[in-house]
């Protein structure tokens, strides 16, 4: 039976529009899901939305709308974008769905019955904007709370706590014994650093009077669940958890941004799972931030890039390629539209687009559109080298994908594409076409180019799915190549007729202001 691969994204807050950072994470997760699906694993890919909490309640109020109606309208923006991005999710969780809320309540009741949740009082400074209680550490040097917290109020309320403190030593041990549990592993140090101080128990409820928009506690109808406690459980609610058994998709891989590693994913989440008696995620895959002028892109600072505009100008695959190629997973990357344009023009247009276009056009022009069949006997050292290097590029792509080095995987794959272009330049089919004595050689070169593109298209499809389909259709509607451990050089059925050559990445003129 094929190995299971369950992968999730963070679920986005619905109180603003999705930006490049959200889109990046969904594309990264999609690329991994497609890669593992292609390589024979059974994949379940979950994404979705985080719809509860004070921010959503406030945003809805501001617009004079019912929170659910507000969420439904906002959810459409996210789903629409993720479909446009060709994100191949298997399910889309929204934390306001009954199927999710029910599991949250099951978990709360179970933890309450087990004595992991207890009633208490909370007194402190609270930032409604950030939806968090503040501590002395949050004060700026001048003693005031920084601007990002907005108006800070003093609050005392009856609430419920989840026991975190008693699990601290266990969590430290887990992190020390499993240095690869967090990717990249340097992030684990941040978590261990945070765990050097005693962690207080976590306040996991809010009085309904202040915050009505949340999952009611099953054992106290006057309280609703803290949004993080609710949201984290989405990773197990949709796949199925009945309070005893979790679906065998779990444990999975949680893909998240670095801002939500500590404390939510690296402290609350493993402790919640442990208290429920469930296994921890296989991996916390932590990506960096997209910045603009080195500042975190975010909807509140207004420096966000709208993925839809880029998709409209350059196409979805150009967007997917750029974000995967430009950012090393785990590190920050600064967005530059000039750099986007450059990569589009050179790596997509002049390298991949040009290769496919010249191969298909020459087959059309010199061979009436039929991909020639050249026997192995006719191969020279030029083909042997080509096969070896293109095969090597595909292997290097896979090795790097296995290590989640997506940008390096792409560089490796592009070496293969560049190599085929070089092969064409060296063998100059346009010269061979001039002499009938070279007809056999021309057959070999054109067949070889088509086969190389066919082989490369398989892995290209993990990153650029629509482009890969387009390539296969231009190559005469070839079926996707099956993946094997050591892919053989593909053979193209005799008589395959190429389609109409169409540029994959048409030239785009930059607006004059650029
Ligand atoms: N709702 C929580 C996550 C709950 S997961 C159980 C949340 N939502 S968010 O909308 O603020 O962020 C969603 C994801 O987008 C997070 O993983 C976050 O790190 C990521 N990004 C938000 N801004 C980002 C950038 N500028 N760059 C890259 N990703 C960032 O947090």
Ligand 1 contact via 51 beta carbon (within 6 Å): no
Nearest ligand 1 atom to alpha carbon 289: 27
* Smallest CA separation from ligand 1 atom 30, residue: 21
Contact 29, 43 (CB under 8 A): no
Ligand 1 atom nearest to CA at 235: 6
pLDDT of residue 514: 47
Q: Does domain 337-514 have CATH number 3.40.50.970?
A: no
Q: Which atom of ligand 1 is nearest to the CA of 19?
A: 23
8 Å CB contact between 451 and 490: yes
| CA 313 / ligand 1 centre spacing (Å) | 25
Pocket test for ligand 1, best of 82, 260, 267 (most atoms within 8 A of CB): 260
Would you list the DSSP string of 283-295?
Answer: EEEEE--EEETTE
Residue 288 CA to ligand 1 centre (angstroms): 10
Mean pLDDT of 208-223: 95
Q: Which residue from 14, 16, 21, 28 has its CB within 8 A of the most atoms of ligand 1, so it is best to mutate?
A: 21
**d(CA 425, ligand 1 centre) in Å:** 46
pLDDT at residue 485 in the model? 67
Between these two residues, 128 and 447, which has the higher pLDDT value?
A: 447
For residue 253, the CA-to-ligand 1 centroid distance in Å is 16
pLDDT at 513 over 60: no
Q: What is the mean pLDDT of residues 20-32?
A: 98
For ligand 1, say whether the CB of 296 is within 6 Å of any of its atoms.
yes
Confidence at residue 433, expressed as pLDDT on a 0 to 100 scale: 98
What pLDDT does residue 85 have? 98
Q: Point out which residues pair with 157 in neighbouring strands.
A: 122
Q: Which of 236, 226, 232, 228 is nearest to 279 (CA)?
A: 236
Q: Is the pTM of this model over 0.75?
A: yes
Mean pLDDT to the nearest integer, 418-426: 98
Residue 144 pLDDT exceeds 60: yes
Average pLDDT over the chain, rounded to whole? 95
Q: Specify the ligand 1 atom closest to the Cα of 257.
A: 19
Geometric angle at alpha carbon 418, from 412 and 421, rounded to 5°: 155
List Cα–Cα distances, 367 to 225, 429, 451, 497, in angstroms. Answer: 68, 12, 16, 10
What share of the chain in percent tops pLDDT 70?
99
* Confidence category of residue 269, pLDDT binned at 50, 70, 90: very high
155-172 mean pLDDT: 96
Q: Does 10 sit in the ligand 1 pocket, CB within 6 Å?
A: yes
Check whether 227 has a pLDDT greater than 60.
yes
Confidence label for 151 from pLDDT (cuts 50, 70 and 90)? very high
- pLDDT value of position 55: 87
SS (H, E, C) 482-507: CCCCCCCCCCCCCCCECCCCCCCCCC
Using alpha carbons, list the distances in angstroms from residue 163 to 133, 166, 214, 271.
Answer: 17, 6, 21, 9
Does the pLDDT of residue 308 top 70, yes or no?
A: yes
Residues whose CB is less than 8 angstroms from the CB of residue 4 and which lie 6 or more positions away in sequence, other chains included = 41, 42, 43, 44, 248, 249
Supply the pLDDT for residue 482. 85
Our answer on whether the CB atom of 285 is closer than 6 Å to any ligand 1 atom is no
Q: What is the pLDDT of residue 512?
A: 59
43 Cβ below 6 A of ligand 1:
no
Centre of ligand 1 from the C-alpha of residue 256, in Å: 7
The predicted-structure confidence for 101-117, as pLDDT tens digits, reads as follows: 999 999 999 999 999 99
Q: Residue 477's pLDDT is what?
A: 96
State the pLDDT at residue 2. 86
What's the CA gap between 101 and 94, in Å, rounded? 10
Whether the pLDDT of residue 177 is over 80: the answer is yes
- Find the 213 Cα to ligand 1 centroid distance in Å: 20
Average pLDDT for residues 140-150, to the nearest whole number? 92
Q: At 195, is the pLDDT very low, low, confident or very high (cuts 50, 70, 90)?
A: very high
Residue 45 in contact with ligand 1 by CB distance below 6 A: no
146 Cα: distance to centroid of ligand 1 (angstroms): 21
Question: What is the average per-residue pLDDT within 309-332?
Answer: 98
Distance from Cα 130 to the centre of ligand 1, integer Å: 14
């Amino acid at each position: 039976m094929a190995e299971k691969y369950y992968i999730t994204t963070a679920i986005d807050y619905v109180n603003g529009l999705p930006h490049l950072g959200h889109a990046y994470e969904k594309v990264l997760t999609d690329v991994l899901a497609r890669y593992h699906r292609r390589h024979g694993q059974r994949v379940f890919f979950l994404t979705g939305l985080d719809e509860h909490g004070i921010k959503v309640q406030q945003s809805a109020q501001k617009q004079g709308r019912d929170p659910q109606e507000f969420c439904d309208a906002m959810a459409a923006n996210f789903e629409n974008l993720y479909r446009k991005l060709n994100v191949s999710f298997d399910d889309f969780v929204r934390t306001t769905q009954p199927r999710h809320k029910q599991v949250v309540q099951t978990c709360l009741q179970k933890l309450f019955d087990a004595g992991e949740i207890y009633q208490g009082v909370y007194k402190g400074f609270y930032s409604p904007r950030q939806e968090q209680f503040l501590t002395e550490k949050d004060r700026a040097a001048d003693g005031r709370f920084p601007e990002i917290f907005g108006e800070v109020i003093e609050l005392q309320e009856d609430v419920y706590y989840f026991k975190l403190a008693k699990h601290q030593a266990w969590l430290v041990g887990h992190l020390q014994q499993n240095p690869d549990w967090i990717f990249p592993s340097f992030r684990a140090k941040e978590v261990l650093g945070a765990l050097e101080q005693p962690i207080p128990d976590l306040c996991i409820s809010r009085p309904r009077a202040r915050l009505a928009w949340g999952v009611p506690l099953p054992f106290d109808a006057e309280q609703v669940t803290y949004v993080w406690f609710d949201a984290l459980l989405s990773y197990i609610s949709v796949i199925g958890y009945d309070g005893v058994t979790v679906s065998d998709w779990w444990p999975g891989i949680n893909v998240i941004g670095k801002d939500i590693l500590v404390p939510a994913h690296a402290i609350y989440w493993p402790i919640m799972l442990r208290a429920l008696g469930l296994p921890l995620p296989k991996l916390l895959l932590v990506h960096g931030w997209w910045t603009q002028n080195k500042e975190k892109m975010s909807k509140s600072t207004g420096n966000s890039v709208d993925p839809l505009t880029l998709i409209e100008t350059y196409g979805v695959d150009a967007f997917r390629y750029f974000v995967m190629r430009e950012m090393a997973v785990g590190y920050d990357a600064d967005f530059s539209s000039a750099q986007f344009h450059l990569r589009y023009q050179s790596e997509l247009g002049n390298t991949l687009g040009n290769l496919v276009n010249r191969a298909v056009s020459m087959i059309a022009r010199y061979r009436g559109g039929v991909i020639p069949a050249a026997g192995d006997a006719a191969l020279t050292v030029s083909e042997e080298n080509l096969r070896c290097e293109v095969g090597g590029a595909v292997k290097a792509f896979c090795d790097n994908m296995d290590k989640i080095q997506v940008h390096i995987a792409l560089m490796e794959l592009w070496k293969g594409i560049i190599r085929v272009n070089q092969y064409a330049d060296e063998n100059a089919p346009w010269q061979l076409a001039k002499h009938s004595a070279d007809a056999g050689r021309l057959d070999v070169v054109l067949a070889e180019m088509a086969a190389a593109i066919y082989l490369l298209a398989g892995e290209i499809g993990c990153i650029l799915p629509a482009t890969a389909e387009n390539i296969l259709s231009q190559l005469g509607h070839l079926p996707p190549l099956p993946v094997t451990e050591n892919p053989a050089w593909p053979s193209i059925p005799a008589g395959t007729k190429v389609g109409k050559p169409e540029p994959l990445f048409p030239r785009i003129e930059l607006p004059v202001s650029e």
